[in-house]
Structure 1
Amino acid sequence: MSQTERNEFTRWDGIKESLFRLTALKLLPGRWFNPALPDKAALTPAGEVPTLEIVSHCWKYSEFQLYQLSSLVNYPPTTLKVVHTVFYSEEDADTVRVLDFFRGQSIPNVRWNFQALPKEQLFRRAIGRNRAAKASQADWVWFTDCDVVFHQGALDALAAQLKGRQEYLVYPQQMMATDLLPKDDPLIVEAKRHPRLMELDMNRFSVRKFTRATGPIQIAHGDVARACGYCETLSMYQKTMSRWAKCYEDRAFRWLLGTQGVPVEVPNVLFIRHAEKGRYQQGSQISVLRKTIRRVKSALIGR
């Protein structure tokens, strides 16, 4: 049994995490807690054909994972080599069926890397991200979510931005996002029928601007990923969970690198926004509360 499997997140860990977010993230330099961070000048620039590892997690979001993987089949990169890593649980039968379908798809410049985890590890996204970061051989690593889609030309445009670049972290300065979709929206319902290649109607999407490398658009330099992992030095974010954890570690990752990220121009990165959170138990108090919060935030600030 690995160290991660032995360490479970406790109530005391939750208190420490809250104190950490309220104090350290605001008062202390993150680099104090990240001694392995290399100098920018030492980062290896990507060559003419960069390699990119895309890392996503899927727990009861098979309909969105289907769109993401379909986009790599429908619009494979021509100037970039991609390894697509998906962390999932064997207990999630719908996601297993989707991944089994794509295992049979042989796509130029794309290699599938689907990795099963015990659900308790899957529920803390930093565990899988850290594992992928340390093992990656790519020039750059894109930590994303399964409801992000790489539409026509997105990855080739990213390749042009990454060549020769020496930055710790970059991010698309805009995405194309849907409205907050209910569970009976045809976009969601159609993707639940059975695994197959799916397309998206671009008329459903509008521009959203970003000012920092938030959770699903964190693109880290490969040398940084291998040296530092993903919040590897923050033990609270490497402990297993009994349910899906709120992803506070995204902010901690930027703090450890000492940057909000550098914006780059990448068109046609799509974001499927949805009101129902499949990763939470449906009908539970936390599910109802989070759905209400999402709808209020969407109405007030479009998030």
Structure 2
Amino acid sequence: MTERHASEFTLGEKIVEASLRLAASGGIPGRWFNKALPEQSALTPAEAPLTLEIVSHCWKYSEFQLYQLSSLVNYPPTALQVVHTVFYSEEDEDTVRLLDFFRTMSVENVRWNFQPMAKEELFRRAIGRNRAAKATEADWVWFTDCDVVFHEGALDALAKQLEGRQDYLVYPQQMLATELLSKDDPLILEAKRHPRLMELDLTRFSVRKFSRATGPIQIAHGDVARACGYCPDLKVYQKPMPRWSKCYEDRAFRWLLGTQGTPIEVPNVLFIRHAEKGRYQQGSQLSLLRKTIRRIKSALIGR
């Protein structure tokens, strides 16, 4: 896939996406359009030791991906086995360098699964998530972002929560989050140096509650992932794009499952909040607008 095969939405596609966003906000049951969804009673209750696949995307976010990967080395799980899938582009040299550093590490109960893809496919996150969902052999799949970190005890606590469950989708009802960080914050600057194991100072984090399984905290049952993929029949969300796209497909995924997710208790899941979006062209009007919106939202509602 090359960039000439990727394009912005046509007018017709924009209408389709707007219609999907409206439908996913309520009124039309998403399950009507998801015939592959298994009956909940038919889902396999996973037994210990569970297998969890963590799926993240990284485009010019190596400083955050560093913390996520470090957490699996610093605090490897003992109660479950993890497959860590990272989708990335070989054009992102900093991320390639980072993944090369970690792929040589042998970590108990952790298997690295770093998957290169064309950046135009990377820019539509549902493409990688769908591939991972269809191919997974895990009991559960955690669709996340590279600025989410699994600190001490988080994954072992998750294993206890997932054992025997038959939910379609679960999510941690709270995480520990930073304030909205500037690009020159020491936490970010330190991670931009050469790849190495890094730790986080928990005193910089505070509790942040969630009411639904948003994009970085969607933990889907493995049977559901294999059967349904990640919005595979919503073609506008499987189209390669010339730049990073807003992840409206995350809401569509919940809509297709007919659930906002079941809240569970998982301690020490960290969220690094940051104002600068490396995946957008820096200095562009779009980048400046998005940064302004993020700061206003953070000031008004803490998001």
Superposition TM-score tier, normalisation by shorter sequence: over 0.9
SS of residue matched to 1:187: helix
* Alpha-carbon distance between aligned partners in 2 of 1:46 and 1:81, rounded to the nearest angstrom: 13
* Alpha-carbon distance between aligned partners in 2 of 1:178 and 1:300, rounded to the nearest angstrom: 16
Report the counterpart of residue 227 of structure 2 in structure 1: 227
Report the counterpart of residue 22 of structure 2 in structure 1: 22
Report the counterpart of residue 249 of structure 2 in structure 1: 249
Describe how 1:85-104 pairs up with structure 2 within 5 A: 85-104=85-104
Report the counterpart of residue 57 of structure 1 in structure 2: 57
Q: For the structure 1 residues 71 and 29, does the alpha-carbon distance in structure 2 shift closer, same or farther, using more than 3 Å as the test?
A: same
Please tell me whether the aligned partners of residues 36 and 227 of structure 1 are also in contact (alpha carbons under 8 angstroms). yes
Letter aligned with residue 150 of structure 1 = F
Q: For the structure 1 residues 39 and 8, does the alpha-carbon distance in structure 2 shift closer, same or farther, using more than 3 Å as the test?
A: farther
Deviation of the 1:14 alpha carbon: 2.1
* Alpha-carbon distance between aligned partners in 2 of 1:123 and 1:246, rounded to the nearest angstrom: 9
Deviation of the 1:25 alpha carbon: 4.0
* Alpha-carbon distance between aligned partners in 1 of 2:5 and 2:39, rounded to the nearest angstrom: 34
Report the counterpart of residue 147 of structure 1 in structure 2: 147
* Alpha-carbon distance between aligned partners in 1 of 2:23 and 2:109, rounded to the nearest angstrom: 44
Report the counterpart of residue 108 of structure 2 in structure 1: 108
Structure 1 stretch displaced more, 87-96 or 230-239 = 230-239
SS of residue matched to 1:244: coil
Please tell me whether the aligned partners of residues 89 and 117 of structure 2 are also in contact (alpha carbons under 8 angstroms). yes
Deviation of the 1:198 alpha carbon: 0.2
* Alpha-carbon distance between aligned partners in 2 of 1:50 and 1:8, rounded to the nearest angstrom: 41
Report the counterpart of residue 125 of structure 1 in structure 2: 125
Over the matched positions of the two proteins, sequence identity in percent amounts to: 78
SS of residue matched to 2:132: helix
SS of residue matched to 2:242: coil
Please tell me whether the aligned partners of residues 9 and 236 of structure 1 are also in contact (alpha carbons under 8 angstroms). no
Q: For the structure 1 residues 161 and 221, does the alpha-carbon distance in structure 2 shift closer, same or farther, using more than 3 Å as the test?
A: same
In the superposition, the TM-score normalised over structure 2's length comes to 0.97
Deviation of the 1:144 alpha carbon: 0.1
Describe how 1:29-40 pairs up with structure 2 within 5 A: 29-40=29-40
Q: 1:52-104 deviations in whole A, cap 9, x for unaligned? A: 00000000000000000000000000001000000000000000000000001
Deviation of the 1:263 alpha carbon: 0.5
Describe how 1:210-289 pairs up with structure 2 within 5 A: 210-289=210-289
Q: For the structure 1 residues 224 and 257, does the alpha-carbon distance in structure 2 shift closer, same or farther, using more than 3 Å as the test?
A: same
Q: 1:161-208 deviations in whole A, cap 9, x for unaligned? A: 000000000000100000000000000000001100000000000000
Deviation of the 1:16 alpha carbon: 1.6
Report the counterpart of residue 10 of structure 2 in structure 1: 11
Please tell me whether the aligned partners of residues 90 and 96 of structure 2 are also in contact (alpha carbons under 8 angstroms). yes
Please tell me whether the aligned partners of residues 24 and 251 of structure 2 are also in contact (alpha carbons under 8 angstroms). no
* Alpha-carbon distance between aligned partners in 2 of 1:79 and 1:23, rounded to the nearest angstrom: 39
Structure 1 stretch displaced more, 11-20 or 288-297 = 11-20
Please tell me whether the aligned partners of residues 6 and 242 of structure 2 are also in contact (alpha carbons under 8 angstroms). no
Describe how 1:189-200 pairs up with structure 2 within 5 A: 189-200=189-200
Q: 1:101-127 deviations in whole A, cap 9, x for unaligned? A: 000110000000000000000000000
* Alpha-carbon distance between aligned partners in 2 of 1:107 and 1:11, rounded to the nearest angstrom: 46
Please tell me whether the aligned partners of residues 31 and 258 of structure 1 are also in contact (alpha carbons under 8 angstroms). yes
Deviation of the 1:252 alpha carbon: 0.4
* Alpha-carbon distance between aligned partners in 1 of 2:260 and 2:292, rounded to the nearest angstrom: 29
Structure 1 stretch displaced more, 174-183 or 8-17 = 8-17
Please tell me whether the aligned partners of residues 75 and 153 of structure 1 are also in contact (alpha carbons under 8 angstroms). yes
In the superposition, the TM-score normalised over structure 1's length comes to 0.97
SS of residue matched to 1:63: helix
Letter aligned with residue 263 of structure 1 = P
Deviation of the 1:7 alpha carbon: 7.4
Report the counterpart of residue 137 of structure 1 in structure 2: 137
Please tell me whether the aligned partners of residues 20 and 252 of structure 2 are also in contact (alpha carbons under 8 angstroms). no
5+ residue gaps, structure 2? none
5+ residue gaps, structure 1? none
Report the counterpart of residue 175 of structure 1 in structure 2: 175
* Alpha-carbon distance between aligned partners in 1 of 2:267 and 2:243, rounded to the nearest angstrom: 34
